[in-house]
Structures are given as structure tokens and as C-alpha cells.
Structure 1
């Protein structure tokens, strides 16, 4: 399954961060395997055993032993013409120049685990949230099934941790899609980078006097900075400079005459920042 929106919210944020950091170093990657069903995992386990192909995993689907089944793992591939023949497709897993090691190092720098560090079966395209170790054992012990684990994803801690990761992205590279994803993560919406009815419904009012330290302040600060409305340091606190930046946006981008220094829940400024108007 290749739906990144089905993954743990914090992994979605880290994956977007990884892609941005790789881009800065001249490496283009795309993502493939995301959440994996029991049937999909069993089919993969059969490869090289009872089905054609090479053995690529030791995890049976019926044992919930794959990190992919728990939504905490994602695989990547190279989106570059590594061998210079004019074709990217034949280089998706070309590691002749050590690109997978480079991406693995970048992944670890943003807080992800890398399958290339494993010893039994090295899985260089594999990345995962390392909070529960390098296997699914702790998750199995604590939650029994992936479904029970996924029920905890909206408990608030995930969204706060996800937003903290945003600080590692430079404002100059902070595009609208990433902003939308970060707002969605901070407000408990489905994280898919597409602003719809749920996204705008879950927005909150932010100002120097209301929700001034809410996790959504960070993406607001970064987006306003990226658009040229100076919030100053991205510190997650809506202070005087935040008010000035909001007023600047209201005046210059929205044409407001009465400036209030507030990003009001569900209203025009939120819709404008999210690209809905």
C-alpha cells in the first residue's frame, strides 16, 4: 500500500522533512511501501520460500512482525538518473554511488531508524520510527494488534512531537503543502497535505492572547516568514512579532482595513494561508 496518509502522523512529518533535507543535498527520493496489510505481508514473506523471487523479509503477516503493518515504516527509492543513461527508472535501487547510505545518514539525523543498519537482512530502502526499537516486538507486547495501536494516534502527544520536527526545516523551503500537513497534524486532522472541510473545521484562533503556545503556532510562524511577513524567530509562541506579521498579512495579502493581529478559526486568513480562497 502506497498511501502515506495511512502512516503514523509523526512518520508522515519526518518523511516530508527527510525529502526536503535530501533535496538540499542534491538527492531526489520518492516513497513506495507504506502501511502494509496482513495479506500483503504474507505474500512478501512467501517470496523466495513458496513463491518466486529472493527472500526479502523474515516477518510473517500473521505474526504482525513487520513495522509496515503498524504504520511506523516507509520505504524509499532513488528518483535520479544515477548511471547517466537518461533513464531514472532503472536506477531506483542503484546504490553504486552510495546514495542509500547517504539517505540513511540523513534519515537518522532527522530522527528515523534505517534498515541498512540491520545485520540479519539489510534493508537499505527501509526507514522507521525508532521509538519502539528496531522491531515490532514492543508494539506487539503493548498493543497486541496494529488496530489498537492506531487508535492512540490522535492522543495529542503525536501532534506535538510532529510539530516540533518542523523547526528543522528552513523557512525558505517551507511550502504550502508542508504547511498544510503540519497544520493538520497540530489540529488533529487527517494528514494528507490537502486542505478540505475537516482541515478548516479543526483550525483554532491564534493570537498573542489566545492559544499563543499551541503547536499550530510553529507552522503559522514558518509560513508567514516564508511569505515575507516577518515573525522573527520560530519559537512556537505568538508574541508581538507574530501580531505584526499577522497584521502585515491581513493588510497586504487580504486587504483588511481593520487589523486585529488574530488568525481566527475557520475564517478568511486561515483559508487564505491554506490555499482555500
Structure 2
């Protein structure tokens, strides 16, 4: 299953549109590197740089990430050879972020507490979080 297919339908449509818009703006192809995450996957990512090796890449504990609800995705540009271009210039990331904002998404490029350029999320994800906390929806 492609990572984009793990997203909620509304988010999948926005991310598909974003892939097209980001490519048009940057003249670079983009891919989805992460979509929906289980609570266990989020716990492992949160542990990085804390109780597990690596640098801190997320401030979100399980249940506190839009990824847990299928309402966030991480995108990355591709080099001409098809490999992920993590070290792309800041301008490339900002252009993608600006296209995300135009589509009504929130971009991690503009987060205040952590810089997360690949991340985009539906700002309504906290409504799903509230339902989960109230026991009205199940999240794996």
C-alpha cells in the first residue's frame, strides 16, 4: 500500500493536489514519505533522541500527532536520480509549504516549537483527537 493510501480520504485528496502543486512550483518531483502512523510507531518516533538513539524529530507523543488520525503526511522532494533530496535548499521546502497553506493545510515548515519542513497536516485533526480522547473513535 502506498503511504498516501493510509490517509483519510479528505487528506489524501489534499495531499494528491499538493504533490502536483509543489512540483509545479518547484520544478521538482515530490513523494509522500509518511502517512498514518500507529500509536506504537508514534511512540518509537517520539523516543528518538530521548530514550532511543538519534536526534529528536517529533515533540508529539502517541495520540498527539495528526499522523495517528490519518490527517498528516510527510513529503520530500526527489533528486533527478529518484532518491530523496533531504538536503534540498530551504527555498524548495518553503515553496512546498506555501502550496500546502494554499490548500488549507498547516505546514511544519512554519511550526514554532520544532522545524518539520516535510510535515503537512489538516488543521481539523484535533477534532479527531478529541473524539479519540472521549472514547468515540478507535485509533490503532
- Number of residues paired by the alignment? 138
What are the Cα deviations for residues 128-159 of structure 1, in whole angstroms up to 9, with x where unaligned?
11124xxx4x4332332798178xxxxxxxxx
Q: Which runs of 4+ in 1 moved over 3 A?
A: none
Question: Cα gap change, 1:2/1:120 in structure 2, threshold over 3 Å: closer, same or farther?
Answer: farther
1:1-277 to 2 correspondences below 5 Å: 3-25=3-25, 26-61=27-62, 64-81=63-80, 87-89=81-83, 92-96=85-89, 98-132=91-125, 136=126, 138-144=127-133, 148=137
Question: Cα gap change, 1:73/1:112 in structure 2, threshold over 3 Å: closer, same or farther?
Answer: same
CA contact (8 A) 1:108 1:114 kept: yes
CA distance in 2, matches of 1:146, 1:114: 28
CA contact (8 A) 2:69 2:129 kept: no
Unmatched 5+ stretches in structure 2: none
SS at match of 1:77: strand
Unmatched 5+ stretches in structure 1: 82-86, 151-277
What is the deviation of 1:23? 2.7
Q: TM-score, normalised by structure 1?
A: 0.45
CA distance in 2, matches of 1:145, 1:92: 40
CA contact (8 A) 2:3 2:32 kept: no
What is the deviation of 1:6? 2.2
What is the deviation of 1:4? 1.9
What is the deviation of 1:52? 0.8
CA distance in 1, matches of 2:135, 2:69: 5
CA contact (8 A) 1:77 1:125 kept: yes
Question: Cα gap change, 1:140/1:110 in structure 2, threshold over 3 Å: closer, same or farther?
Answer: closer
| Rg (Cα) greater in structure | 1
**More strand per residue:** 2
CA distance in 1, matches of 2:97, 2:130: 28
CA contact (8 A) 1:69 1:146 kept: no
Structural RMSD (CA): 2.4
Q: Which has the higher contact order (CA 8 A, sep 6+)?
A: 2
SS at match of 2:56: coil
CA contact (8 A) 2:131 2:137 kept: no
- Residue of structure 2 in register with 1:233 after alignment: none
Question: Cα gap change, 1:92/1:146 in structure 2, threshold over 3 Å: closer, same or farther?
Answer: farther
CA contact (8 A) 1:67 1:73 kept: yes
CA contact (8 A) 1:2 1:35 kept: no
SS at match of 1:32: strand
